[in-house]
Amino acid sequence: MQKYILSLDQGTTSSRAIAYDKSADIGSVSSQEFDQIYPNNAWVEHEPEAIWNSQLKVAKTVIGSIDGDIEAIESIGITNQRETTILWNRKTGKAIYNAIVWQDRRTAGYCEKLKAEGKHEFIFKKTGLFLDAYFSASKIAWILDNIEGTRALALEGNLAFGTVDSWLCWKLSKGNLHITDASNASRTMLYNIHTLKWDEELLDLFNIPASILPKVVDSIGIVGYTEKSIFGKEIPISGIAGDQQAALFGQLCWNEGMMKCTYGTGSFIMLNTGKEALVSKSKLLTTIAWKRGDEVQYAIEGSVFIGGAVIQWLRDEMEFFKEASDSESLAEAAEDNGGIFFVPALAGLGAPYWDPFARGSIFGITRSTSKAHLTRAALESICFQVNTILGLLKLDYKGNIDQINVDGGASANNLLLQFQSDISDIEILRTNKLESTSLGVAFMAGIGIGFYSEENLLKLNESKHNFKPEMDKMIRKNLLGKWNEAVKRAMNWED
Contact residues toward ligand ADP (CB under 6 A) are 264-265, 308-309, 311-312, 324-325, 327-328, 408-410, 412-413
The minimum distance between CB 34 and ligand ADP, in angstroms, equals 14
Q: Which is nearer to ligand ADP, 231 or 268 (CB)?
A: 268
The minimum distance between CB 100 and ligand ADP, in angstroms, equals 19
Q: Which is nearer to ligand ADP, 202 or 310 (CB)?
A: 310
The minimum distance between CB 56 and ligand ADP, in angstroms, equals 21
Q: Which is nearer to ligand ADP, 410 or 447 (CB)?
A: 410
The minimum distance between CB 344 and ligand ADP, in angstroms, equals 11
The minimum distance between CB 179 and ligand ADP, in angstroms, equals 26
Find the length of the chain. 495
Q: Which is nearer to ligand ADP, 209 or 360 (CB)?
A: 360
Q: Which is nearer to ligand ADP, 348 or 408 (CB)?
A: 408
Q: Which is nearer to ligand ADP, 101 or 216 (CB)?
A: 101
d(CA 383, CA 263): 10
The minimum distance between CB 235 and ligand ADP, in angstroms, equals 26
Q: Which amino acid is at 78?
A: I
Q: Which amino acid is at 425?
A: D
The minimum distance between CB 107 and ligand ADP, in angstroms, equals 23
Q: Which strands form 236-242's sheet, in the order they lie side by side?
A: 26-33, 14-20, 4-10, 73-80, 236-242, 220-225
Q: Which is nearer to ligand ADP, 325 or 361 (CB)?
A: 325
Q: Which is nearer to ligand ADP, 188 or 265 (CB)?
A: 265
Q: Which is nearer to ligand ADP, 192 or 420 (CB)?
A: 420
Q: Which is nearer to ligand ADP, 28 or 267 (CB)?
A: 267
State phi, psi for 161 to the nearest 5 degrees.
-110, 150
d(CA 169, CA 223): 10
Q: Which is nearer to ligand ADP, 192 or 411 (CB)?
A: 411
* CB of 352 closer than 8 Å to CB of 283: yes
Q: Which is nearer to ligand ADP, 95 or 410 (CB)?
A: 410
The minimum distance between CB 420 and ligand ADP, in angstroms, equals 12
Residue 327 vs residues 312, 342, 477: alpha-carbon distances, Å: 10, 15, 25
The minimum distance between CB 6 and ligand ADP, in angstroms, equals 20
The minimum distance between CB 222 and ligand ADP, in angstroms, equals 29
Neighbours of 211 (CB within 10 A): 14
The minimum distance between CB 417 and ligand ADP, in angstroms, equals 10
Residue whose Cβ sits closest to ligand ADP: 409
The minimum distance between CB 314 and ligand ADP, in angstroms, equals 8
